[in-house]
Amino acid sequence: MRRSIWVYLRRAVLLVLLAGATLYSLFPMYWMVISGLRAEHKLFDPILTPGPYSWQSYLTIFSLTDFPTYYANSIAVAIGTTLLTVVVVTPMAYALVRSRLPGMMLMVRAMLFAYMFPAILLAIPIYIFLVKIGFDDTRLSLILTHCTFTMPLGVWLMWGFFKNFPFEVEESAFIDGCSRLQAIYRVIMPITLPGVLTVVLFSFVLSWSDFVFSLILISSDELKTLPYGLASIDDAYDANWGELMAGSTMICLPLLLLFAFLSKYFIRGLSMGAVKN
């Protein structure tokens, strides 16, 4: 009898704590979504489940600002960055693990070093350099500079991935008479897919979320990506909170969708970074 009370109590405490943790994590997002949907004159009422609802904030942000352009830019830049990262990083990480060339560990370390570098420190010199060669304020320059953080992370993740990858699989391919390139193509690529997916996910999210490089590199309205675009809508139009929250929700939507379906790969990527090392 006493034991079962103890079990119930323990369960209740656990429940309360879990509810608290969930509220802590999710409530701000709930408030973001709700604020974007509330009618403007009700926006300042501090009620938790507020109505009436209205699409007005969404209509305003879509019709009166360059938000659709920013959206298109973000999609282009994030996809460009992701593709470039995967194409560059996968063979590089493979070579870093498998080749016996000198200086491989040094390169891995250099990559990690580059990854630890804060965006703002890289952004200022990169910007000054791009200005010097006349290449600032372009989408391509943004893609290339986003690679300065997606690439080191990608190499790091794929390096860890290939390192734990049993050599025997490749060997059996060699024995079947494949060249290394064929072995890579036929055997390694398919098994590498989960690792690549993790890199894809991280590259996309990091590029999509970037504010600093966009702030420093991009000036023209027609080239801005979403996070900086939203900040400049705020500056230029004195946007209302409803519009800002509608814009924020729209920015988060693809990320939350990706996350909902692929959270496994996120978690894998995150825990790989620290635990393995």
Partner 1 sequence: MVTLRRSETVALPAPARMSRVGPLEKRERRLFLTFLAPGLVLAIGAIFIPVLYAIQLSFYHAESFIDTPTFVGLGNYLRIFADPRYWEAFWHGILYAVLTVSLQVVIGIAIALLLHQEFRGRSWLRSASLAPYILPTVVVVYIWTWLLNMNHGLINAFLDRLGIGAVGWFETPLASWFTIVFVSVWHWTPFVIITFLAALQTISEDLYDAAAVDGTNAWQRFVYITMPVLKPVLVVIIMLRTIFMFNKFDIVWLLTRGGPLTATEHLPILAYQKTFAMFDIGGGTAVATSIFLFLTLLIWLYFRLFPLEEN
Partner 2 sequence: MQHTRMRRRRFLQTLGAAGGAALLGSTGLVSPARAAKKTTIRFFNNETDPNTIAFLKQIAKEYQDVAGVHIKVETVPVLKTWTKVTTAIKAGKPYDFITFGQVTHPLLLVPERKIVPVTDIVREVGLEDFGPRAITWYQDQVWMYPYDYNFNYLIYRKDWFEEKGLQVPNTWDEYLQVLAALNDPKNKRYAYTMPISSGGHTNWGNTGWLWAAGVKIYDDEWNVILDSPEIKPRVVGTLEFLTKAAQYTPPGLLETSLKDMLINFTSGLSAITTYTGRLIHTIEDRAPELADKYGIMAYPAPDGGPRAVTFANDGFSIGNTRNTEATLEFFRWFLKNGKLVDYQLTVAVHYQPPQYSTYKNEKWRSHPLVKKHWSAIEVMLDFMNTDKTRVGSIQLEGPGPSPNQGRIWNSYVIPKMYQQVLLKRLTPSQAVDEAAKEIRSFTKKG
CB of 121 to partner 1, least distance (A): 5
Alpha-carbon span 180 to 1, nearest angstrom: 67
Alpha-carbon span 98 to 183, nearest angstrom: 13
> What is the SS3 assignment for 53?
strand
Closer residue to partner 2, CB minimum distance, 219 or 271: 219
30: partner contacted, choices partner 1, partner 2, none (Cβ within 5-8 A by kind): none
Binding to partner 1 (CB under 8 A) within 11-50 occurs at: 14, 17-18, 21-22, 24-26, 28-29, 31-32, 35, 43-44, 46
CB of 201 to partner 1, least distance (A): 9
220: partner contacted, choices partner 2, partner 1, none (Cβ within 5-8 A by kind): partner 2
Upstream peptide bond of 52 is cis (omega within 30 degrees of 0): yes
Q: Is 244 in the site for partner 1 (CB under 8 A)?
A: yes
Binding to partner 1 (CB under 8 A) within 101-160 occurs at: 101, 105, 107-114, 116-122, 124-126, 128-132, 144-145, 147-148, 151, 155
Q: Is 44 in the site for partner 2 (CB under 8 A)?
A: yes
Distances (CA, A) of 199 to 61, 82, 152, 159: 32, 8, 11, 11
236: partner contacted, choices partner 2, partner 1, none (Cβ within 5-8 A by kind): partner 2
Alpha-carbon span 138 to 61, nearest angstrom: 24
Q: Is 221 in the site for partner 2 (CB under 8 A)?
A: yes
Instruction: For 120-186, give the DSSP string.
Output: HHHHHHHHHHHHHHT--S-HHHHHHHHHHHHHHHHHHHHHHHHHTS-HHHHHHHHHTT--HHHHIII
Residues that bind partner 2 (CB under 8 A): 40, 44, 64-66, 131-137, 219-222, 232, 234-240
